[in-house]
Amino acid sequence: MSGLHPLDVQALHYRFYGNLNEHECIHEGNRLVYRNHDCRVQTARSRKGLPYHPCKSVGIYEYSGFAATIDDRLKCRCLSCYPDCTESHDGCAWEFYLEEE
């Protein structure tokens, strides 16, 4: 992956769930917003009448680790994820940005 810019959208598609969930990646200046519109886990739980899984802490661990693997300067923060949803409960949103030195 030589020459990959840390905010390259393509890197997110290589994650396991990158091919399973309906999502979009939006570049906004020096940041990238990854928005998962329909999480298969949350949708299945809802369909079965189960409570949503509180996945924010797992997401922080997963996305922050993924970002650091691409570039140590690449940081991640949660914009919306259960139980702290500002958007749909069936999805999540994450911001990736380069930490300036």
Quick check: is 34 in a domain? Answer: yes
Question: Which tens digits make up the pLDDT trace of 19-56?
Answer: 677 778 888 778 889 888 888 888 899 999 999 999 99
**Residue 52 contacts by C-beta under 8 Å, 6 or more apart in sequence?**
42, 45, 46, 82, 83, 89
Map residue 80 onto helix, strand or coil. Answer: strand
Return the pLDDT at 8.
66
Quick check: is 60 in a domain? Answer: yes
Domain count, the chain: 1
Quick check: is 67 in a domain? Answer: yes
Query: Which range of residues forms the domain containing residue 29?
Result: 9-98
Name beta bridge partners: 28.
31
Quick check: is 20 in a domain? Answer: yes
Map residue 61 onto helix, strand or coil. Answer: helix
Return the pLDDT at 4.
46
Quick check: is 2 in a domain? Answer: no
Contact 75, 64 (CB under 8 A): yes
Quick check: is 42 in a domain? Answer: yes
Quick check: is 3 in a domain? Answer: no
Return the pLDDT at 87.
77
| Nearest CA-CA partner of 20 in 42, 51, 3, 49 | 42
Quick check: is 35 in a domain? Answer: yes
Strands 74-80 and 92-98: antiparallel
